[in-house]
Copies of this chain bind each other. A is one copy, B any other.
């Protein structure tokens, strides 16, 4: 087979039906951004929407904006808009708080509905913050956490398990669980599932209702491009809504919030997941950001994600013998980022950044490169790998400045 070329990349871009969507984003010139799996790029329109919310809604219309400009309904309205991204219905999704706080609420809700069972099943090597919440809730509720290897989850589900809590796509390796199979197996054993969709939502179609998912959370600042720390979503299937409870009871989740009743009466539906006043500026930024997906079919997004990822893997295989692809080789087992191991991964990531290629590093030796189908081009992948080749050939990653550890990696 002939070696791949930059012209191949340009040809792939020329045939890309989503190529035009890139113009919906503000992207810095001379940067190849492959970290949209951590912080999505800025969609056009966000600046203007937030400006309007500050100057006209807050500054001019002041308190009346809670009614007049839909601030009060924002968590439900944006939740309804997010529903299509995960295959849910309006009324099953709200947006508010962080992923961790929402996971805390949903784990409590799920456990309450399986009070007779003793095990909270999760995986090893998952995103640590999920694990901290899982461990904390289990301790509070008197459950035992069993954390198995990701590949062993199906075999470990049995009738002792109250809840299976997993991240759909692994933050480090990009490994993807079979959401449908795990959910079905959990249900056969009488357990409930809580899925963390942080690393899949916006990068592929999801269908939580068809899969029968019970509860799910996910963040909105990765492939959904909602902005730094944009509030997370939480999903509760309709069939659980009549009888679920979460412990952080607040007035935004009350059935009659302005009656100012002393007793908590939970709102119907996913609204009862709401607690306190949500951060409106961050919420409207997210709402505006979702405009970048206007008219975009998530199946096309997934197809391009797979094509970009395979292009990346092909190029690393061909051109970078020093590095090892540690993400699954089968696209069906992968999310939308590709992880590559190198003994000096940290310094290589820094050296790449100095050459304008932005990926990120994860302990202990992983370089992550996310492809964001709405704005990543095939030629970006070519150029990124090309610079990786150069960084390794010149050994410029050995320079002292690339060894300095920063606060946030």
Interface pair B280/A26, CB less than 8 Å apart: no
A133 touches B59 (CB 8 A): no
Contact flags (1/0) for A369-384 with B, using CB distance below 8 Å? 0000000000000000
Q: Known: A100-B250, A282-B282. Is A228-B26 also a contact (CB below 8 A)?
A: no
Chain B contacts for A231, CB-based, 8 A: 279
Least Cβ–Cβ distance between A45 and chain B, in angstroms: 11
Asked if A249 CB lies within 8 Å of chain B CBs, one says yes
Report how far A262 CA is from B135 CA in the complex, Å.
Answer: 10
A58 near B42: Cβ-Cβ < 8 Å: yes
Which B residues lie within 8 Å of A394 (CB)? none
Please measure, in the bound complex, the distance between the C-alpha atom of A279 and the C-alpha atom of B98, giving whole angstroms.
8
Closest partner residue, chain B, to A250 (CB atom): B100
A250 and B360 contact, CB distance less than 8 A: no
- The contact string, 1 if C-beta is below 8 Å from chain B, for chain A 201-245, is 000000000000000000101000001111110000000000000
Q: Given the known A-B contacts A101-B248, A261-B128, A363-B259, are A227 and B26 also in contact in the complex, defined by CB atoms under 8 Å?
A: no
Whole-angstrom distance between the Cβ of A246 and the nearest chain B Cβ: 9
User: For A219, what are the chain B residues with a Cβ–Cβ distance below 8 Å?
Assistant: 277
A276 in contact with B100 given A54-B227, A55-B26 (CB within 8 Å): yes
A66 close to B408 (CB less than 8 A):
yes
Instruction: Say yes or no: B285 contacts A281, CB within 8 Å.
Output: yes
Q: Which residues of B contact A232 (CB under 8 A)?
A: 276
**Min distance, Cβ A52 to any Cβ of chain B, angstroms:** 10
> Chain B residues near A140 (CB, 8 Å)?
140, 247
Note all chain B residues with C-beta closer than 8 A to A323: none
Let me know if A33 is at the binding interface, CB within 8 A.
Answer: yes
Query: What's the Cα separation between A26 and B358 when bound, in Å?
Result: 39
Beta-carbon contacts under 8 Å, A241-274 to B: 247-252, 254, 258-264
- Residues on B with beta carbons closer than 8 Å to the beta carbon of A38: 63
Closest chain-B Cβ to A286's Cβ sits at a distance in Å of 9
B63 and A262 contact, CB distance less than 8 A = no
- Report if A62 contacts B (CB, 8 A): yes
CA distance A258 to B366 in the complex (A): 13
Are B99 and A407 in touch, CB under 8 angstroms? no
Chain B hits for A64, CB < 8 A: 353, 358
Q: Is the CB of B262 within 8 A of A124?
A: yes
- Is A345 at the interface (CB under 8 A from chain B)? no
Considering the complex, give the chain B residue whose CB is closest to the CB of A125: B262
Contact check, B47 vs A35: say whether CB atoms are below 8 A apart.
no
Whether A314 is near chain B, meaning CB under 8 Å from some CB there, is: no
Closest residue to A360 on the B side, CB-wise?
A: B63
| B62 in contact with A132 (CB, 8 Å) | no
Task: Identify A277's interface contact among B98, B133, B277, CB under 8 A.
Answer: B98
Q: What 1/0 mask marks residues of chain A from 322 to 350 whose CB sits below 8 Å from any chain B CB?
A: 00000000000000000000000000000
Contacts known (A50-B54, A250-B98, A407-B67); A131 close to B31, Cβ less than 8 A: no
A101 contacts across to B, CB distance below 8 A: 97, 101, 248, 250, 275-276
Question: How far is it, in angstroms, between the C-alpha of A393 and the C-alpha of B277 when the chains are bound?
Answer: 37
Contact A262 B131 (CB under 8 A): yes
Which 8 A-B residue pairs are closest in the complex by CB-CB distance? A98-B276, A100-B276, A279-B282, A228-B280, A129-B251, A42-B59, A100-B250, A66-B408
Enumerate 9 A-B pairs (CB-CB under 8 Å) in ascending A order.
Answer: A26-B59, A28-B61, A42-B58, A62-B358, A63-B358, A71-B228, A100-B275, A101-B248, A124-B262
